[in-house]
Chain A
Amino acid sequence: MGTLSKVTRRTFLVGSVAVAGGVAFGFYAYKTPGDNPLLADLGEGEAALTPYVLISPDAITLITPRADKGQGAYSVQALLIAEELDVELDQIRVDPGPPSPVYYNTALATEAVPFRSTDTSNAANAMRGVADAAMKFIGMQITGGSTTVPDSYEKLRIAGAIARETLKKAASKETGTPIADLRTERGHVILPDGTERSYQSLAEAASGLTVVSDVELRDPAQWRLIGKPVQRVDIIAKSTGTQDYGIDLKFDDMLYAAVRRNPRNGGGMAGYDASTAETMRGVHSVIDLGDGIGVIADNTWRAFQAADAVECEWEAAPFPANMDEHWQVLSDSFTEENLNSRNLDAGDVVTALSEGDVLEAEYRAPYLAHSPLEPVNAVVKVTDARVDIWTGTQVPRFVQTNVAAITGHAPEDIHVHVLMMGGSFGHRLEDNYIHHAVRLAMTVKGRPVKLTYKREEDFSHDYLRQISMGRMRGNVSNGQVESYDLSVTMPSVTDSQMGRQGLSLGSTDPIIATGAWDQPYAIPNYRVSAYKAPPLAPLSSWRSVGASTNAFLHEGFLDELIHAAGADPLEERLRLMNDETSRRVLEAVGDMSDWGSDLGPGRGRGVAFALSFGTPVAEVVEVTDTPAGIQIDRVFVAADVGKVVDPVNFDNLVKGGVVFGLGHAMNCEITFTDGMVDQPNFYAFEGMKFYQCPEILVRGLENGSRIRGIGEPPVPPAGPALGNAIFAATGQRLCEMPFSKFVRFA
């Protein structure tokens, strides 16, 4: 049966119903079909030609390997396949498929190279090719970096076309009609006389054929689905309480678990006393996890209560106990030996800033938690033969390897079933909670155990968004920005995150400078120096990663320079811009917001731009300084992703990204006292409230030459655009997030 057991196959094919007769298609050009994970486990009469389309008697299943954290990834992947396959979205099921190197992420590698995303030179493209090959080699099935659409755009359409043409070939064989006379529509092959053969009825015949691999993609002018408003595949389930998330899974015989770990994340446990907890109703056992305890019980609430009743003796945190020390470490990190990259050094900032009026500033951005609304959880069942894990994760392949190391099973006996996630924002790039669930399940072999993190536990053990500090200097002349020298420091997110996976990606961490050095401005003297601070609290990728802090530094101080020059914030940015696609995005928000028109007293408008993950986004924020505080009235956003594949989802993701970016800039920070997170729950980590949500107007442009993602890029410009607007309305320059430390919001 190969690497997938029958149980797994049933799970991702058709629930618990047995399959007989089916066929799987996909795009798989670079290796033999033996690498197709669907092929390894098909029953009699089924065939798996390629890994993305699976047709069985009762269903057409599209395999969508990029995880869905709420960003609509399943839907957009399905849409790309369906466009060429000629099925409608209400005819298909989607399934994330098993962990497999086949589903490696090409686009992630494409941006992991030290070239500007706007750089299409031969050298840059060659380097991207090398990185892509490496990614293929490692087989990183990762969802992240806003790569889902870029990675899938061609691959999945080709998969759909291959499946369609092979089904036509089968129909031609069965009916004797030449292929050229056949057409396809709504999941059927249609003969010249109007007779219809459903794809399902052709599955078995198709399974015996060599796939038609020589396909041509349709002319975009013929597209039925791409670029049109479609209904998301999960929208009904998500509006009726019937969408199952990881936390909702239930098996007969299942036990429920909670953990309580050292609130000083990463610190050890000197001892514990579980005598009270062990006698509490429903408690099965209390397990020593080394850095804390786990409770297995017959109900989640009982497990929570018992975990709280255990008396634990905690050790110190493996990082400085208080915030002052964290900031001091950053402040001390701007040294020659910490210099990590200086990819941008145009003109001569040193000479230019050695005399005359020099503007200086220091900017700060805090730690942040990911805190998706669904706390982390996993259901795990361990037997001698295999381990089954049901969870929402962005890194199923890492999970497989790591769990194998914990349990001693072979990696192919670790079965990861990826479930829908109630948000992530990067949270589910970590798999630590799964390790805990596995270790608990190992003590009750044969029984599924569902571990749910209490919200407080999730907050205190998040791997945070980086803390960051910037020091900037610059000058202006003749009403123009002349020199900009930006130094930034943060601990390395990559070292922290990949370190937990036992990987090292080299000492240069591009994240420290990303969103700062790679912006498309032509400033005569222009330098960005990135300093790697020593490790502090553990970090992980947070929606838009390095750009989430660097855009605030870069665009905040650029705004200061423009004001010092007496120039217009939008006009001067446009004058400096040296990338056409980016320029048009800025022009678009200028147009949308009627930039330059009079807003009246007490009101102000700020603009910010950021190019991240290859997607240029410009935002204009309008605020009013009211007696009750700063009120955000309207936000205008223009973004260029090359092609808007799914316009409704695009609009929703952009608006959500703006709310996310503004909300955290306004109100959110994670701080430490005595090594412990000060914010136990959402009431101490309030983003934007419903009543504070402004009207948000969105325009998607399609001038870019490559397909780009939109999950993260709207986040970076939001904070600086708000800060710049507050300056315009009040004259107060905010150099530190969250802004609520300095101003009140209405």
Chain B
Amino acid sequence: MRLQVNGIVYDVDVEPDMPLLWVLRDELGITGPKYGCGVAYCGACSVWVDGMLVRSCSYAVSAAEGTSVTTIEGLGTPDALHAVQEAWIEEQVAQCGYCQSGQIMTAAAFLQENSSPSDDEIDEAMSANLCRCGTYPRIRAAIKSAAAKLGGA
């Protein structure tokens, strides 16, 4: 099966129903997406498939065949940060950081659709992502400053 992740094409030999998360992590060594719940609840495994936000722990790899997958590693790097990552660093959002790949991928997807969100819209977009460390106040602040960076209001 042919898979394109962060612009690189991989050939993988896996069962079609293996969740994309485990193909990324164990087969390809792309570990930015995290395993948190395995049941599409926490959002730690969030990636983009053709620009659409999906929970890779509950997304069969076969559905990603022929698409372009983006993980946090493809969003930006320490040397070339995405605006959302910049905001996350400036606000020092992370505590343990384990949820943050998923939070950032969710926020970046959301801000692409809505570059000047209201507080309620931010709440709605982010409420399906879990942070056990309770970084919600900083995530809120970072989304607002990322929106400003991205040219929204």
Contact = CB atoms under 8 A, between A and B. Distances in A.
Interface string B1-34: 0000000000000110011011001110101111
B97 A371 contact: no
Given A248-B31, A656-B135, A239 B93 contact: yes
Nearest to B44: A373
B113 to A, nearest CB: 18
Interface string B25-66: 111010111111111011010000000000000000000000
B94 interface: yes
B134 A660 contact: yes
A242 B73 contact: yes
Contacts of A301: 18-19, 21-22, 26
A243 B139 contact: no
A232 interface: yes
A693 B32 contact: no
Q: What class of interface size applies to chain B in its complex with A?
A: 35 or more
B78 to A, nearest CB: 5
Contact of B41 (A236, A299, A683, A696): A683
A648 B92 contact: yes
B124 A691 contact: yes
Contacts of B152: none
A372 B96 contact: yes
B138 A655 contact: yes
Nearest to B21: A301
Contact of B134 (A245, A371, A659): A659
A241 interface: yes
A649 to B, nearest CB: 8
Contact of A681 (B21, B35, B41, B137): B41
Contacts of B98: 70, 245, 372-374, 422-423
A455 B37 contact: yes
B95 A656 contact: yes
Contacts of A663: 134
Contact of A373 (B77, B132, B140): B132
Contacts of B104: 239, 241
A696 B95 CA distance: 17
Summarize B's interface: helix, strand, loop or mixed.
loop
Interface string B117-145: 00000011011011111111111100000
B81 interface: yes
A658 interface: yes
Contacts of B89: 231, 235-236, 239
A456 B57 CA distance: 14
A235 B142 CA distance: 13
Contacts of B88: 239
Interface string B75-103: 11110010001001100111111111100
B72 interface: yes
Interface in A651-686: 652-653, 655-660, 663, 681-683
Given A682-B37, A693-B136, A234 B123 contact: no
Nearest to B71: A241
Pick from B31, B131, B136 the residue with the most CB of A within 10 Å: B136
A237 interface: yes
A71, A240, A243, A245 pick with most chain B CB within 10 angstroms? A240
Interface in A618-676: 648-649, 652-653, 655-660, 663
A70 B96 contact: yes
Contacts of A238: 94, 97, 100
Contacts of B134: 655-660, 663, 687-688, 693
Nearest to B76: A240
A375 interface: yes
B95 A241 contact: no
B146 to A, nearest CB: 11
A423 B94 CA distance: 11
B85 A234 contact: no
A420 B96 CA distance: 8
B132 A243 contact: no
A236 B95 contact: no
Given A373-B44, A423-B133, A689-B127, A452 B32 contact: no
Contact of A70 (B15, B76, B133, B136): B133
A688 B39 CA distance: 19
B100 A239 contact: yes
A71 B108 CA distance: 25
Contact of B92 (A235, A302, A693, A696): A235
A247 B31 CA distance: 9
A372 B42 CA distance: 12
A691 B127 contact: yes
A695 B138 CA distance: 11
A681 B36 CA distance: 10
Nearest to A243: B97
A69 interface: yes
Nearest to B33: A241
B96 A423 contact: yes
A741 interface: no
Contacts of A455: 35-39
A454 interface: yes
A424 B85 CA distance: 24
A173 interface: no
Contacts of A234: 94, 97
A300 interface: yes
Contacts of A606: none
A695 B137 CA distance: 7
A687 B96 CA distance: 17
A184 B106 CA distance: 45
Given A300-B26, A375-B35, A240 B81 contact: yes
Contacts of A304: 38
A687 B77 CA distance: 32
A235 B94 contact: yes
Contact of A690 (B26, B73, B77, B127): B127
Contact of B34 (A71, A374, A689): A374
Contact of A250 (B18, B29, B77): B29
Contact of A241 (B18, B42, B101): B101
Given A70-B95, A373-B42, A242 B137 contact: no
- Residue of B41, B42, B94 with most partner-chain A CB within 10 A: B94
Contacts of A452: 35
A652 B95 contact: yes
Contacts of A681: 37-39, 41
B26 A299 contact: yes
A425 interface: yes
Nearest to B40: A683
Nearest to A248: B31
B2 to A, nearest CB: 19
**From A300, A373, A648, A691, residue with most partner B Cβ within 10 Å:** A373
Contacts of A242: 32, 73, 77-78
A286 B27 CA distance: 21
Contacts of A422: 34, 96-98
Given A240-B72, A681-B41, A683-B41, A373 B135 contact: no
A72 interface: yes
Interface string A198-220: 00000000000000000000000
Of B29, B42, B124, the most chain A CB neighbours within 10 A belong to: B42
Q: Counting chain B CB atoms within 10 Å of each CB, which of A241, A244, A682 scores highest?
A: A241
Contacts of B35: 247, 300, 375, 452, 455
A688 B37 CA distance: 17
B126 to A, nearest CB: 5
B19 to A, nearest CB: 6
Given A70-B133, A300-B22, A373-B98, A244 B31 contact: yes
20 contacts: A235-B94, A239-B100, A241-B104, A245-B34, A245-B98, A247-B34, A248-B31, A299-B26, A300-B22, A300-B26, A300-B35, A373-B99, A455-B37, A455-B38, A649-B92, A652-B92, A652-B95, A660-B132, A681-B38, A695-B137
Which 4 pairs across A and B sit closest by C-beta, in order of nearness? A70-B96, A241-B32, A659-B134, A422-B98
Given A71-B96, A304-B38, 5 more contacts: A236-B78, A300-B22, A300-B26, A301-B18, A693-B140
